[in-house]
Chains A and B, each alone.
Chain A
Amino acid sequence: MADSCILDVTGVGKKFCATLPYSMYYGIQDVCRNMVGMTANSSVLRHHEFWAVDGITFAINPGERLGLLGGNGSGKSTLLRLLAGIYPPDKGKVEVRGKVGALIALGAGFHPLLTGRENVFLNGALLGMNTHEIDQCFDEIVEFAGIDSFLDAPVKTYSSGMHVRLGFAIAIHARPDVLLIDEVLAVGDTAFQNKCIEKVLELNRSGTAIIFVSHSLQAVERLCLTGLLLKQGRQVFHGDIRDCVQQYNNLLTQENLGNAPQATSFGLGVVHISNVDVFEVGGSPGNRSVTYGRNFIIRFDYVFQEDCHHNTQVRVWIRTHDGRDVQRLTFQEAQFNGTRNYGNVKIHRLQHSGTVRITVLSPRLFPQSFRIDVAVVPMDRSIHLGGLANAAIFNVVPPPENNDYFEFGNMTVTDFDYVVAVD
């Protein structure tokens, strides 16, 4: 272990058993082996066992801020528990120089019937503080938590926010050398979250290393300088936080593409929609990847199966992968009668068959995957002449250079302009 490191993790792994009967059986086996002085061969996988965390290696220095990223079940929480010493590793090694503070479950050990005051001492002792140390920072804890009028009320009367605030306040005053934060800040209100992040940064400036887990990429980017990306317990990336976030987004969109729902046609079948594609202006069709902020084209072919005596309207929806509408892009063959012509209605005539190209201008679609639905409706009736749901899936990826997209956070700005061309 290099002298400067505060935490050194070498090839660490943790296995779990997927089925309860085997978990019982293996547990008894292991304890019985221990009874006769044998080790349990923990580094070997048995039937039904799997590595929840596998071969993680990294080191952090005092004052470093590391973000742990990964989808659900990627092993983030298990890794934190390994670092905190709650779980013993099954392989590899964790070396810690100093005190590890784990904000894994705030207010662990709080007894609902005891008052806030009594619980401060209990929780403090659990975090390794003695009564004298707690006495010294008691007022600070209470002030930070902002619960002074409830100090002598039983904790069970606290709101969940107060509960978390008190837990956080105690944990932060235990003066850890490494602070592990697992998604806990999400509970408090925004004001308290900001206060917590300020406090964490203040500790960080005095040398405390931070390891932060959150599903809010904004929060991770704001708080961390380096990132570690986990996928199915394995380390996929370790480096600059922005690269890490980008890698994570790529991973997410890949998964979304993998789970893409089938394109399904709907409506009367008068119009047949096919060959739907999305690509960047100047980019090649087919790769379905669009860089954040760049213009892109939605293209599809249409064929009228029979003669249509209505003027039609073409509607294209951009939706997030989980189905929320982002924007509807439309054009129609004629003006509406009377008062319904508001906004800039785009007029284009459709032929018997042809290709539609809609160029979306300066879109601000936050990096993730989106899907396209297309429908053709008569202007005077509310039926679908033809349509295709889940017609295409495409990914928006972050720009390679660091431009302003980070400032927008996790927001998709809608109502962008577009140009239609019909062949």
Chain B
Amino acid sequence: MTYDAKLIVYEPEQRIRLGFIQCWVAMFLSIVQSRELLMQLFRRDMLAASKQSLLGIAWTWVAPLIGISSWLFLSQAGVLLPGAGEVPYPLFVLLGTTVWGVFMGFFTSAASSLTSSGNLVVQAKFSHQVLVAQQVAQASLSVLANLVLLAVVFAIFGGRLYWTVLLFPLSLFPLFLLGTGVGMIVAVFTVLVRDVTKVITTVLGILMFFTPVIYAPEAGNQLLQRLIWFNPMTYLVCGARDLVLSGHIEHWQGYMAAVLLAILVFLFSWRLFYISEQKVAERL
């Protein structure tokens, strides 16, 4: 028996009483200490996806493949008319939807992290941040699949390539931060009120129409223009797309502000998740 074993104390509202720095240290440590579990959970879902299924993990590729083939078919059929710019419209839309999809993918994964493993949470003691991390890792995998397919389409369409295309994967990072950030807040509230995920998903669906995903940012009347440029997602989506299509970020000041916002949202919601999830998880 080791008497010098580490003393663990459980007290009410322990996490919120931690100092600011201490809290961040605890958050990082708990992730680092749970890396084995994270790996095992990730492995579990990968393995489970491949059992009793013919395509298994390959399903990650199916949706983007189908999406892209339909784009290719439609453009061959001459239905998709090129826009005003020199960039083919299909490419423009494909890029936009992929980037938006990255944001939504991370959001959905993070938001469902607590509710999708309800039983486990009240049966065993472990850091619930692992659940978010595992979901995010899963989402990253499908982002990767999307990127590869995107590259294939680019090779076929053969647009002009800028060196900044190399920065494109990096430009998805702020979308990961914002998506996961909003997702973590939603995860906490969803445990309390189940409609929160539905409400926010609907709101984000509407937000897509006020983000230049399938149209150029300069389109529309004055009201739409105003809404577009108040929307931080506009900068993040356009910024990422600009890196591929025009070699430079057009609204880089707005882009930087949106990135900063994404970082802040992520940090805020990560800490909120850490502080509140325990108290909330008991209601699962």
Taking Cβ atoms with an 8 Å cutoff, the residues of A that contact B are 1, 3-4, 23-24, 27-28, 30-31, 34-35, 37-40, 42-43, 62-63, 81-82, 84-100, 102, 104-105, 108-109, 111, 113-114, 118, 121-122, 125-131, 154, 177, 206-207
B120 touches A114 (CB 8 A): no
Contact with A along B105-125 (1 / 0, CB 8 A): 000000000000001101111
Give the residues from 1 to 54 in chain B that come closer than 8 angstroms, CB to CB, to chain A: 1-3, 5-14, 16-17, 36-37, 39-41, 43-44, 47-48, 51-52
A93 touches B10 (CB 8 A): yes
Contacts A/B (CB < 8 Å), 28 sampled: A3-B3, A23-B283, A39-B13, A42-B279, A63-B1, A81-B122, A84-B125, A86-B122, A86-B123, A86-B125, A87-B282, A88-B14, A91-B12, A92-B11, A92-B12, A93-B9, A95-B7, A100-B125, A102-B125, A104-B124, A108-B120, A109-B44, A111-B44, A111-B48, A125-B37, A126-B120, A126-B126, A177-B1
Closest A residue to B35 by beta carbon equals A130
Residues from chain A with a CB closer than 8 A to the CB of B280 are 27, 31
B40 touches A122 (CB 8 A): yes
Closest B residue to A98 by beta carbon equals B5
- In whole angstroms, how far apart are the Cα atoms of A40 and B280 in the complex? 12
B276 touches A42 (CB 8 A): no
Judge whether B61 is part of the interface by a CB distance below 8 angstroms.
no
Closest B residue to A13 by beta carbon equals B12
B47 touches A114 (CB 8 A): yes
- In whole angstroms, how far apart are the Cα atoms of A154 and B51 in the complex? 10
A34 touches B16 (CB 8 A): yes
A113 touches B48 (CB 8 A): yes
Closest B residue to A108 by beta carbon equals B123
- In whole angstroms, how far apart are the Cα atoms of A3 and B4 in the complex? 9
Residues from chain B with a CB closer than 8 A to the CB of A3 are 3
B10 touches A94 (CB 8 A): yes
Residues from chain A with a CB closer than 8 A to the CB of B125 are 84-86, 100, 102
Residues from chain A with a CB closer than 8 A to the CB of B1 are 62-63, 177, 206-207
A31 touches B276 (CB 8 A): yes
Residues from chain B with a CB closer than 8 A to the CB of A129 are 36
B124 touches A89 (CB 8 A): no
A97 touches B3 (CB 8 A): yes
Residues from chain A with a CB closer than 8 A to the CB of B5 are 97-99, 177
Residues from chain A with a CB closer than 8 A to the CB of B192 are 23-24, 27-28, 31
- In whole angstroms, how far apart are the Cα atoms of A31 and B192 in the complex? 10
Residues from chain A with a CB closer than 8 A to the CB of B126 are 126, 128
A122 touches B283 (CB 8 A): no
Residues from chain B with a CB closer than 8 A to the CB of A81 are 122
Q: Closest CB of chain A to B32's CB: distance in Å? A: 13
Chain B contact residues (Cβ within 8 angstroms of A): what range? 35 or more
Residues from chain B with a CB closer than 8 A to the CB of A121 are 40, 43
Decide if the interface of chain B is mainly helix, strand, loop or mixed: helix
Residue pairs across A and B with CB atoms within 8 Å: the count is 149
B193 touches A1 (CB 8 A): no
Residues from chain A with a CB closer than 8 A to the CB of B37 are 125-126
Beyond A27-B280, A86-B124, A97-B8, 7 additional pairs, beta carbon < 8 A: A30-B279, A86-B122, A93-B10, A94-B10, A95-B8, A108-B123, A126-B120
- In whole angstroms, how far apart are the Cα atoms of A125 and B43 in the complex? 12
Q: Closest CB of chain A to B36's CB: distance in Å? A: 5
Decide if the interface of chain A is mainly helix, strand, loop or mixed: loop
A114 touches B48 (CB 8 A): yes
Residues from chain B with a CB closer than 8 A to the CB of A40 are 13, 279
Q: Closest CB of chain A to B38's CB: distance in Å? A: 9
- In whole angstroms, how far apart are the Cα atoms of A94 and B188 in the complex? 25
Closest A residue to B20 by beta carbon equals A37
- In whole angstroms, how far apart are the Cα atoms of A37 and B5 in the complex? 32
- In whole angstroms, how far apart are the Cα atoms of A298 and B10 in the complex? 55
Which of A62, A111, A131 is packed against the most chain B CB atoms within 10 Å? A111
Contact with A along B69-108 (1 / 0, CB 8 A): 0000000000000000000000000000000000000000
Closest A residue to B37 by beta carbon equals A125
A89-B10, A114-B51 in contact; A34/B272 too (CB < 8 A)? Answer: yes
- In whole angstroms, how far apart are the Cα atoms of A422 and B79 in the complex? 108
A88 touches B278 (CB 8 A): yes
- In whole angstroms, how far apart are the Cα atoms of A121 and B126 in the complex? 15
Residues from chain B with a CB closer than 8 A to the CB of A104 are 123-124
A118 touches B272 (CB 8 A): no
A113 touches B124 (CB 8 A): no
A95 touches B9 (CB 8 A): yes
Q: Closest CB of chain A to B269's CB: distance in Å? A: 9
Residues from chain B with a CB closer than 8 A to the CB of A24 are 192-193
- In whole angstroms, how far apart are the Cα atoms of A93 and B40 in the complex? 32
Q: Closest CB of chain A to B242's CB: distance in Å? A: 34
Closest A residue to B275 by beta carbon equals A34
Give the residues from 261 to 284 in chain B that come closer than 8 angstroms, CB to CB, to chain A: 272, 275-276, 278-280, 282-283
Residues from chain B with a CB closer than 8 A to the CB of A23 are 192, 283
Residues from chain A with a CB closer than 8 A to the CB of B14 are 88
- Checking A100, A108, A125, A206 against B40 with a beta-carbon cut-off of 8 angstroms, the contacting residue is A125
Residues from chain B with a CB closer than 8 A to the CB of A35 are 272
B123 touches A118 (CB 8 A): no
A27-B280, A131-B36 in contact; A96/B122 too (CB < 8 A)? Answer: no
A98 touches B2 (CB 8 A): yes
